[in-house]
Structure 1
């Protein structure tokens, strides 16, 4: 299983590296560690949503481990909690 630790700030500058990191892990189950996230921008959220969908289409596990409160709240504010937070989440305090 691949592991991907998200950085503290997921803004426009983080989008390219985030996409590249997901592409490198494609084809195997992945655990996304979201405990350090303090800021989540719309573009990076779109990348996370696309990755979640791609993993589902591939029939591979996509889980989010220990999401920070900021990660959870931003996902809810964008209205993406139903799509992204329906992924397997470990350690969520919601």
Structure 2
């Protein structure tokens, strides 16, 4: 089968806010190697969850792991751009 790695896709909720930050951090810790997030349902990204996304992205880069946000909603795209997270929009597969 070659170098196929199993990745689970984490569906992000409509509100990535402070209430979601703790469960989100726990989910990110479980995904040791590969991060695939689905942003199709996201209506708003709060500052704390934005910082967690950036941290997960940087951790994946340091570990040579994959990080990708798929199906980014228009609202999520706009929120990330406003917070300077354009690089998160571009992240695909292997860091």
**Which TM-score band (shorter chain)?**
0.7 to 0.9
Where 1:7 maps in the other structure, the secondary structure is coil
Unaligned runs of 5+ residues in structure 1 are: 90-94
Q: Normalised by the size of structure 1, how large is the TM-score?
A: 0.86
Correspondence for 2:16 = 10
Report 1:23-42 matches (<5 A). 23-26=29-32, 28-42=33-47
**SS state at 1:52 partner:** helix
2:70 corresponds to 1:65: yes
Q: Distance in 2 between matches of 1:45 and 1:18?
A: 11
Q: Is the partner of 1:63 in helix, strand or coil? A: strand
How much is the aligned-residue C-alpha RMSD, in angstroms? 1.3
Write out the 4+ residue segments of structure 1 that deviate beyond 4 Å after TM superposition: none
Q: Normalized against structure 2, the TM-score is what? A: 0.85
Gapped runs of 5+ residues in structure 2?
Answer: 1-6
Higher share in strand: 1
CA distance in 2, matches of 1:63, 1:80: 13
